[in-house]
C-alpha cells in the first residue's frame, strides 16, 4: 500500500513538482494550498507524513505544527519542514527544540527529499523502499 503524504504549501507548482518526484518512488502526495486547508486535510486524511512550508499566507507553518502536536489524533504524524528559511539557528531549533522529523531548504535536492521522506517514515531497509518508477 502506498504511503500517503500531505504537502502544505502555498505554491501549486512546487506541490506538483514534489508530487512528481515522490510518485516515482511509490508515494501518494496530496497537496494543500495554505495552513488552514492543510490542517483540515491532515485531520481528515490522517496521512503517514506531512511536508510543511513555514511561510503560508493564512496560518504560518509553525502554527500548523503546534496545532498538530497538541491534537491527540495528529501528534504522532511525522513532519518534515520544507522552507526557503535557510538560517542555521532556525534549522537547529526546528530539529532539536521542536523535534521535527526533517528540515529541507528550498531549492531542494530531489535525492535529499526522497531520503528524508523515507527516513521519516522509518523505511530503512532495502525491502521497505518503494521502487523507483
Task: Note the pLDDT tens digit of each residue in 47-77.
Answer: 999 999 998 989 989 899 999 999 999 999 9
Fold of 3-122: Rossmann fold (3.40.50)
pLDDT over 70 at 92, yes or no: no
Quick check: 28 and 3 in contact, CB under 8 A? yes
CB atoms under 10 Å from CB of 39, counted, come to: 23
pLDDT at 44 over 80: yes
Gap between the Cα atoms of 125 and 118, Å rounded: 10
Mean pLDDT of the chain: 87
pLDDT at 126: 46
Q: For residues 78 and 95, give the distance between their C-alpha atoms in angstroms, rounded to a whole number.
A: 12
Amino acid at each position: 500500500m502506498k504511503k500517503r503524504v500531505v504537502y502544505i504549501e502555498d505554491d501549486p507548482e512546487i506541490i506538483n513538482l514534489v508530487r512528481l518526484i515522490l510518485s516515482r518512488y511509490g508515494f501518494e502526495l496530496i497537496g494543500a494550498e495554505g495552513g488552514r486547508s492543510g490542517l483540515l486535510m491532515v485531520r481528515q486524511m490522517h496521512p503517514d507524513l506531512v511536508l510543511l512550508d513555514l511561510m503560508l499566507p493564512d496560518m504560518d507553518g509553525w502554527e500548523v505544527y503546534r496545532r498538530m502536536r497538541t491534537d491527540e489524533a495528529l501528534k504522532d504524524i511525522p513532519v518534515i519542514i520544507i522552507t526557503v528559511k535557510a538560517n542555521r539557528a532556525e534549522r537547529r531549533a526546528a530539529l532539536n527544540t521542536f523535534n521535527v522529523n526533517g528540515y529541507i531548504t528550498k531549492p531542494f535536492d530531489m535525492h535529499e527529499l526522497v531520503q528524508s521522506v523515507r527516513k521519516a517514515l522509518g523505511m530503512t531497509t532495502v525491502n521497505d523502499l518503494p521502487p523507483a518508477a
